[in-house]
Structure 1
Amino acid sequence: MTNGIEATVALCKCGKTHKVYGVRFEKAGKKHWKYTWAFPIKESTAKHEGYDKTSIVGVIEPTNDYPGCPYCKAQSFVICSCGRLNCNNTSGLGGLFTCEWCGTTGKLGIYDGSGFDSSGDR
């Protein structure tokens, strides 16, 4: 926590490059988080920093200047049933998606705010 701002970093995987990156989230209300920036990171470094243990519950949305995935520039995420974040490179609701973490394939639905967990243990 810096300057009274609660912030954390979660891991995401890019569906186009299959690479891991970090996403910084700032608390914007009781159950409201804004993602502010993203950066490439090695999985070993992320684990050392504890980013593989991040858990967020609530509404998530980008800030106006969120740069997107550092690899494919996707501006939003898919949260798999395994609880982990992936770039959203689909054509929208009902589009097919395959999780970069666990390999599960399914159709996109609407995020209900139930949260995600970088460790995949939701």
Structure 2
Amino acid sequence: MLSQLLVYFGCTVLVCGAAFSFLAAVGVLRLPDLYTRMHAASKAGAVGGGLVLLAVAFLSQDVAVSLRAFIGISFLLLTTPVSAHLLARAGYFAGHSPNKNTILDEFGSAREKSQDR
């Protein structure tokens, strides 16, 4: 009875992870500029990948596989935001300007200082 419940829960989590990953892919295709695309890919992609790994942990019913899945989740959640931030910052200073609908540009003065050098 408990193993069937874990299978149903694992399948539900797997479908939710696939839905988040699909939304990340749609965001990358549909959003207007580099920064919003990267935001969609990093946030929804990390949640989708984390949910898929969580489903693997539930469905495997093996301690070694579950431990590896949890290590993968923690690695994914620690590295994805940092890498997205660094890529966005590098893109900004390389000259990729935000969309015209962007209201606030906090790095505007820092960009001008780096171009003066």
TM-score, length-normalised on structure 2?
A: 0.21
TM-score, length-normalised on structure 1?
A: 0.20
Q: Which has the higher strand share?
A: 1
Q: Which has the higher helix share?
A: 2
- Larger Rg over CA atoms: 2
